[in-house]
């Protein structure tokens, strides 16, 4: 299962990418990510414990994943980041990935795309509809979050 959403933001690509590349900002703008804590456990330089939560009516599921950043390419016109599940318990786990791309449309406008992917079967039915709603809401919430970071950097009208 994979869900992608795209939004155009009236901010420079570097400002937008700073948000997308920082997984600790995700709870502020992506509904399904409810908590992110940096962890020192493991061999990776950077790893986070990420809590995902999906609710449909009275049913709710939560999952805590250990995620690492596996891609961080901050190019001048196109920047990409990827976070992947990386557990340390030696067991096989369903893959989870979060990919972000920011493209500079101009000096003060950029397009951000996020893809959330899950390779297992356990959550698929529940997550499909939840991610549709979360993706729709995230476009507005991401835009609002980035605008609050750099309120004086608005594009000229």
Domain residue spans in the chain? 2-151
How does pLDDT run across 43-91, given as a tens digit for each residue?
657 899 999 887 777 877 788 999 999 999 998 899 999 999 999 999 9
Question: 9 pLDDT band (50/70/90 cuts)?
Answer: very high
Considering the domain delimited by 2-151, tell me its CATH architecture: 2-Layer Sandwich (3.30)
Task: Look up tokens 């570097």; give the residue.
Answer: 14
Which carries the bigger pLDDT value, residue 131 or residue 116? 116
Q: Model pTM?
A: 0.86
Helix, strand, coil percent values for the chain (each to nearest 5): 30, 45, 25
Which carries the bigger pLDDT value, residue 45 or residue 105? 105
- Residue 155 confidence (pLDDT) above 50: no
């Amino acid at each position: 299962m994979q869900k992608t959403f795209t939004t155009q933001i009236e901010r420079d690509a570097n400002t937008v990418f700073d948000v997308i590349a920082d997984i600790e900002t995700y709870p502020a703008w992506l509904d399904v990510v409810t908590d992110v804590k940096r962890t020192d456990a493991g061999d990776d330089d950077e790893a986070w414990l990420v809590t995902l939560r999906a609710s449909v009516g009275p049913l709710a599921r939560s999952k805590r994943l250990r995620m690492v950043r596996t891609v961080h390419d901050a190019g001048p016109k196109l920047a990409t980041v990827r976070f992947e599940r990386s557990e340390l318990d030696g067991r096989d786990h369903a893959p989870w990935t979060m990919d972000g791309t920011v493209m500079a449309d101009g000096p003060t406008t950029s397009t951000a795309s996020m893809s959330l992917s899950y390779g297992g079967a356990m959550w698929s039915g529940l997550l499909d509809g939840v991610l549709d709603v979360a993706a729709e809401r995230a476009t507005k919430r991401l835009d609002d979050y980035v605008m609050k970071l750099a309120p004086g950097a608005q594009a000229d009208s």
